[in-house]
Structure 1
Amino acid sequence: MLEPIVVTATSGERFLKDAPASVTVVTGEELRERPVQDLAQAIEGTPGVQLTGIGLGRRGISIRGMLPEQTLVLVDGMRVSNSASAIAHSDYELGWVPPEAIERIEVVRGPMSSLYGSEVLGGVVNIITRQATDKWRGSVSTFGSLTEHGRGGDGYNVSGYAGGPIVPGILGLNIWGQYRGREEVTSPQDPRLSSMGDEGAFTGNATLTWTPDAQQRIDLSYGAGYEERWRNTQGAGRFPTFYRSNDDIRRQRISLSHEGDWDWGTSRVRVYSSMLERENERSDGAPASGPQKFTDTVGDAHASFSPIENHKVTVGGEIRRERLDDPTVNDSGRAEQTHFAAFIQDEIRLGDQWEFVAGSRFDHHEAFGWHASPRAYLLYHVNEALTFKGGVGAGFKAPTLKQLSPEYEAIAGGGRFTIVGNPDLEPETNLSFEAGFEYQQGIWSARAMAFQNDVDNLIEAVCVIRCTGAPGAIWSYENVDEARIRGVEIGGGVELPWDMRFDANYTWLDPIDKTTGERLPDRSRHAANATLSWEPVEKLKTSLRVNYIGSQKTTTASERQPSYTLVSVYGDYALNGHASFQLGVENIGDVRLADESGDYAFANEGRRYFVGLKAKF
């Protein structure tokens, strides 16, 4: 087994055990051994990660108790459109890359604003895609899943990847595509309503790689996607109407990058843009929300060099332009802002056993001026097996274009209230501490990390006028809370006899609203995950996965979500050296969540059986 390489923690390559951060790597090979529809499902069970409801039965990624919109999603180090900032209940950033095109996913826990700027109070999820090699390689996979309750939820997925040389040693090509979908799940209480909406999506991408010489690499990439969703819902009022809400979502991403490996160090220059557009229609003829179009255009550059022995210095800068087209954001229906940033980082080797990483990013926001996000991290390598690590870092998240707009006004809550913007908002900030160890020797591995997040100026939507519960209330955004979220992550693994391996992790959270002294909602105090892998014969790989989420305070009517456990089993049988057959059962206990009780913040399909086939060359 080769030691995994990670890049997200320092913006440069490091062995996983030497990363100055809490990092978990999920490999593409792991993902392709089970049915994975989106990014949330891909990293479910990762230490410190919980999937939390964001409305309309959808899920978002929460890291160490922070909100989903405080998690930054990257593709090859480049941010994708943060659709949640423009579209309520949006999870559209989770479907940009299929597992077939993924080399690995790096999950970094803790604020990383010192490298990546805003939206990184909780952490970073960086999807590293597969790259072309000197020989053509490719793979195709397909699977279908079936539920047994007769109310829908069946799913399908077909994806493929190919990469190799066009001109050997000079020009390479990567291409991938995916077609996936899931049927609507009807509500058991009322068949006129949807517990989960119907989804169908196609995504594709092509990347040209030019290596004019041994020192340079140039990548040109274009990706696009189309997604259609619908769900049956009902409006507000004394005599509510039932209607179908349809969403058409279009994605686009284009990037151009240059990387150099010089005698004095390395460099990288990139220009990229991501766009997400959504159009909504309602079957009852009532006014639809949107349309919305969110465009994020970024130019960045950095250089790494060693000015003196045992120091690796990285300096860089970024210009980022956000643009939102939305009829509700202001009178003109358009809002935009430009961010400027510069950062510096020094990786210092203090002898054979100690390393110290220090740096800061300086961001300029049109409304708030300059903001510094420093970070310092220390590693002590006791020996090849054991490393102690710890650090402190600051993060910030600026309010969105809608939240800051004094003219923003939109109908929300199914028509029950109107929400308006607030130009007097302040950025959310986070000061984070962590300390722990990692150990790997022979068949054993273990790790533990204690952490604390001190969060100020959390932005929440609150009622400000006519707050009686009747229709017609006015809501706005305010900095209302200070929070302290502390916890412990522990985990480990061991290789067992008979070609078996066991891995497990546990996270304890203590999320407190410092303003009220009460526990923060929608965060489980206890979460545990375990995987038992077994290869009973040479061609067969099997695994048993268990995910436990403890009870939590919620914003639902009962104010409490009971605990639940999901158990799944998977099998992968190699037919020959190029093809394998997959089958399994997910959610064996048929836990329905939102279908069983209104206490749960998101829904799921229930027990489902899947069968798949994958081939590679």
Structure 2
Amino acid sequence: MQKSIRNKKEFTLLSISILAALTMPVYAEDAIDTRDVMITATRTVQEVKETPSAVEIITREDLDKLGAHTLGEALRMATSINVSAPAMAGSSITVRGMSTRHTLIMIDGKRLVSEGSYATANSYELERINMENVERIEIVRGPVSSLYGSDALGGVINIITRKPEKQELTVSLSPQRYFGDTGTGIDNYSLRYDTGKDNKWSWIVSADRAKIDPYENSDHTTKSQFGTRENLNMDGTYDFTANTHLDVSINLLREDLDGRTTQSAGVLRNDTYTNSRDQYSLGLRGKVKNGDYQIRTFYGEHDKDNKSYLLSTGALTDFDVSNRKTYGLEGHVSTQLSDRHLLTTGSEFRTEQYRGTRIGTGNKVYDITYGSITKQGSEAEIDYSAMYVQDEWLVNDRLLIIPSVRYDDSDKFSGNVSPKLGMTYKMNENYRLKANIGKGFKAPSLDDMYMEMTKTMGSMVVHVTGNPDLKPEKSNSYELGIEGEKGKNFGKLTYFVNDVKDLITTDTTVTFVPGVGMRADSTYLNEDKADIDGIEFEIGRRLSDKFTVKMNYTYLDATGKTGQRLEGRAKQQGTFQLHYDNIRQNGISAVLWNEWKKDYLYSSSSHINKTYALWNVSVNKKWSDTFSSYIGVDNIFGKKDTELNLLGAMFRAGVTFKI
């Protein structure tokens, strides 16, 4: 009863704040070239040069030049971002040394319903999100909890999708093959239909399919999951007036994947992963005299079915199922209070539900049987509510100050306040000084609090137990940077500090159980901390109207509570890039780049550090307004390291037709 009353109060508070915001006067911006603006850093349209945050935009032209099909491929040249493939499956990403689970990944500002455990949060999204329907990717490095709350402890990656323009059908085909093993690779297919303006409605319907071949290790296990992944997206806009729009979004994901691993005594096991995700949203946005607004409701459901079989006999040995649901309401409004103040206020209400065999709450316990195996499942739920406010204060023609603060509450943890203060100071017409100070936080997930999992991984039985007494992870962050452009040269230099406390980690005990073998028992604890300091350096020069050279470099000092280095991070990393564009209507663009890492800590227990560099090239040719193609080679010199998932040189090609 108390919970019901609490939820009604939170929902009423949220509704009042949104309705109040929608009654405020709203301001209409002039058209701005979206290649030079960022909306994620402040939730408002702002020029990249003006925003105090450390940001980066990957444009549609960049994606075409790279021939990128997945989010992981698109991020390979980004500053202070490391993408790697762990032994299990999926990919991990660190932004300025923060873990994969500390990065908030969104599509058009919407959260994804996905895996939420300590080990798997965000790990599969880098392959799931296809780039064919993407207009640009906006990256904010550093905590953005003052606007986005939990999960934005390390940064935000916001994928902005294409908007309807003209009636057009686009078909793309692109195979990828490893050299020396031409039967192994990935085939990508995509289809997109743009209706253009049909009276007041406009739609983009897109579908893509990836067929992934198994890459076998010498023991006939597979390095990653293989099978098929399919997406269907329908995004529509109805124009009530020139300044009022209704947005409808439907996104469907289906995965049918396999993976082979070794069980005890060298016995091969085949795992199947049948996943589905349905996400829907309905939003109203508009502009009036002094600002703009958006209100949106959303719902998402993710089903996961994982079964394990003996490869030799097909006998079922284990299974796990889960169902996750997320639904909520959010809204914000930006109001031009005066020539020097743009005020943004917003609210959010969100509920997450989790039902499955890897959770042990004792709530609504049920049995599920496959074959001769019966498992017990249960349910968990968490409610979130939040309010935030931000002021973009143009003090004078040289100084912009942006204070923001957000209050997050939940029925599972106490309220949290996340403030941030950003500043951009124009030293002169060419150079700018930027500074940020703020606090971030990440609430423990339902998995972290209520996990109850026993699973055979390799030759070891792993048992993981959640901890309902976990506290949110919190951070204090600081950064100071200078950036500028002069003539043909441009660059940035940023020093950042991110001190994290109450970091969630695992306490693991390994024992030998007679008749079973090795067993690892783990539970989650708030006993760790991280001190992550670093320097980011970006520099470039336009050599001519066709050639541009760029370089980025990051030095990272990431340590835990005892001073030990944090695993899965490089002390130094960077890229060197040579870009070419002959600037013709039917022209050629290309990029040759080197990505390198020095002292990448692969294993802290075994003290394994790795240093390596990879050369890559991609060339895109536009033959006409309706036909283009690309060709490229990743890892040109064929470096192999199965621990790092470096599997040799890969040839990539693709064609795109427009009708």
Q: TM-score range by the shorter chain?
A: over 0.9
What's the CA shift for 1:41? 1.3
Q: 2:140 and 2:545 mapped to 1: Cα distance?
A: 33
Task: Tell me, yes or no, if structure 1 residue 26 matches structure 2 residue 72.
Answer: no
Counterpart of 2:375?
A: none
SS in 2 for 1:19: coil
Tell me how far apart the structure 2 counterparts of residues 149 and 195 of structure 1 sit (CA, whole Å). 17
Which has the higher mean CA deviation after the structures are superposed, 201-210 or 532-541? 532-541
**Alignment pair present for 1:508 and 2:555:** yes
Quick one: which of 311, 320, 327 aligns to 1:290?
A: 320
2:541, 2:548 within 8 Å by CA — same for their partners in 1?
Answer: yes
State yes or no: 1:564 paired with 2:612: yes
Corresponding residue number in structure 2 for 1:597? none
- Cα distance in 2 between the residues matched to 1:446 and 1:137: 39
Letter in 2 for 1:202: E
Alignment correspondent of 1:613: 655
1:370 counterpart (415, 427, 439):
415
Q: How does 1:482-561 map to 2 (within 5 A)?
A: 482-497=529-544, 499-513=546-560, 515-535=561-581, 539-555=587-603, 558-561=606-609
- Rate the CA distance shift 1:195–1:389 in 2: closer, same or farther, 3 A: same
Cα distance, 1:615 vs. partner?
2.6
Counterparts of 2:440 and 2:319, CA distance in 1: 32
Q: Which amino acid is 2:657 matched to? A: A
* Per-residue deviation, 1:590: 0.9
Letter in 1 for 2:263: G
In 2, the alpha carbon distance for the partners of 1:293 and 1:442 equals 56
* 1:440 Cα offset (Å): 2.3
Residue 269 of structure 1 corresponds to which residue in structure 2?
295
In structure 2, how many angstroms separate the alpha carbons of the residues matched to 1:347 and 1:63? 26
Q: Does 1:193 align with 2:221?
A: yes
- Alpha-carbon distance change, 90 to 55 in structure 1, aligned in 2, over 3 angstroms: farther
Summarize deviations over 1:363-409 as a string: whole Å, max 9, x none.
0022222100100001102234321111111111111112212x734
Instruction: Tell me, in whole angstroms, the C-alpha distance in 1 between the residues paired with 2:107 and 2:357.
Output: 29
CA pair 302-528 structure 1, distance change in 2 beyond 3 A: same
Instruction: Report the alpha carbon displacement of residue 166 of structure 1 after superposing the two structures with TM.
Output: 4.4
Taking the TM superposition and a 5 Å limit, the aligned residue runs for 1:1-400 are 2=33, 4-85=36-117, 88=120, 91-133=123-165, 135-150=166-181, 153-168=184-199, 170-188=200-218, 190=219, 192-236=220-264, 239-284=265-310, 285-330=315-360, 331=362, 332=365, 333-400=378-445
Question: Contact (CA 8 Å) 1:32, 1:99: kept in 2 or not?
Answer: no
The correspondence of residues 575-614 of structure 1 with structure 2, limited to 5 A, is 575-594=623-642, 600=643, 602-614=644-656
**In structure 2, C-alpha distance between the alignment counterparts of 1:107 and 1:45, rounded to whole Å:** 12
Tell me if 1:478 matches 2:525: yes
Conserved? CA contact 1:428–1:456, under 8 Å: yes
CA contact (8 A) 1:10 1:20 kept: no
1:152–1:186 CA contact under 8 A, matched in 2? no
The alpha carbon displacement at 1:171 in A equals 1.5
User: Residues 62 and 152 from structure 1, CA distance in 2 versus in 1: closer, same or farther, beyond 3 angstroms?
Assistant: farther
Do the aligned residues in 2 keep the contact of 1:98 with 1:177 (CA within 8 Å)? no
* CA gap 1:493/1:199 in 2 versus in 1, 3 angstroms: farther
Taking a change above 3 Å as real, the CA distance of residues 352 and 411 of structure 1, as seen in their structure-2 partners, is same
Q: Residue 305 of structure 1: SS of its match in structure 2?
A: strand
Helix, strand or coil at the partner of 2:304: strand
User: Which consecutive unaligned segments of at least 5 residues does structure 2 have?
Assistant: 1-31, 366-377
The amino acid that maps onto 1:607 is: A
Q: Judge conservation of contact 2:471–2:526 (CA < 8 Å) in 1.
A: yes
Identity of aligned residues (%): 25
CA distance in 2, matches of 1:59, 1:242: 23
Conserved? CA contact 1:50–1:61, under 8 Å: yes
Go from structure 1 to structure 2 and tell me whether the alpha carbon gap of 1:172 and 1:180 turns closer, same or farther (over 3 Å shift): same
- State TM-score, norm by structure 1: 0.93
| Cα distance in 2 for residues equivalent to 1:426 and 1:225 | 33
Taking only aligned residues, the RMSD between alpha carbons, in angstroms, comes to 2.3
- Quote how far apart the aligned CAs of 1:222 are: 0.7
User: In 2, distance between residues paired with 1:201 and 1:361?
Assistant: 37
Take 2:101 and 2:77, find their aligned partners in 1: how far apart are those partners?
A: 19
Letter in 1 for 2:174: F
Do 2:566 and 2:604's aligned partners in 1 also have CA atoms closer than 8 Å?
no
Residue aligned with 1:69, SS: helix
User: CA offsets per residue over residues 96-140 of structure 1, 9 Å max, x none?
Assistant: 54222111000100001111111111100000001113x324533
Structure 1 counterpart SS, 2:132? helix
- C-alpha distance in structure 2 between counterparts of 1:582 and 1:293, whole Å: 40
Report the Cα distance in structure 2 between the residues aligned to 1:609 and 1:541, rounded to whole angstroms.
Answer: 18
Deviates more, 1:265-274 or 1:369-378: 265-274
SS in 1 for 2:448: helix
Q: SS at 2:648's partner residue?
A: coil
Evaluate the alpha carbon distance shift between residue 105 and residue 354 of structure 1 in structure 2; reply closer, same or farther with a 3 A threshold.
same
Q: Retained in 2: the 8 A contact 1:57–1:603?
A: no
Offset at 1:233?
0.5
Question: Aligned partner of 2:100: which letter?
Answer: P
Find the aligned partners of 1:527 and 1:506 in 2 and give their Cα distance: 6
Deviates more, 1:73-82 or 1:57-66: 57-66
Tell me if structure 2 keeps the 8 A contact 1:209–1:218. Answer: yes
The superposition leaves residues 534-566 of structure 1 with CA deviations (integer Å, 9 ceiling, x where unpaired) of 247953322211110112223366321311111
Preserved CA contact (<8 Å) 2:100 2:122: no
Cα distance between partner residues in 2 of 1:73 and 1:455? 20
Residues 326 and 350 in structure 2, CA contact (< 8 A), matched pair in contact too? yes
How many pairs align?
603
After the TM superposition, which of the residue ranges 310-319 and 471-480 deviates more from structure 2? 471-480
- Is the CA contact (8 Å cut-off) linking 2:308 and 2:319 kept in structure 1? no
8 Å CA contact retained: 1:305, 1:314:
yes
Q: Which amino acid aligns with 2:294?
A: R
Q: Which moved more, 1:378-387 or 1:82-91?
A: 82-91
**Greater CA drift, 140-149 or 340-349:** 140-149
How many angstroms apart in 1 are the aligned matches of 2:171 and 2:444? 42
Rounded to whole Å, the distance in 1 between the matches of 2:120 and 2:577 is 34
1:444 aligns with 2:444: no
Distance 1:436 1:306, change over 3 A: same
Q: Distance in 1 between matches of 2:573 and 2:551?
A: 11
Determine if contact 2:301/2:323 at 8 Å carries over to the other structure: yes
Counterpart selection for 1:430 from 455, 463, 475: 475
Shift in CA distance, 161/219, structure 1 to aligned 2, threshold 3 Å? same
Q: 3-state SS of the aligned residue for 2:438?
A: strand
Where 1:436 maps in the other structure, the secondary structure is strand
Q: Distance in 2 between matches of 1:453 and 1:295?
A: 32
Q: Are 1:411 and 2:437 an aligned pair? A: no
Segment of structure 1 superposing worse, 25-34 or 62-71: 25-34
C-alpha distance in structure 2 between counterparts of 1:138 and 1:384, whole Å: 44
Q: Say whether the 8 Å CA contact 1:327–1:334 is kept in structure 2.
A: no
* 1:558 partner amino acid: S
SS of residue in 1 equivalent to 2:240: coil
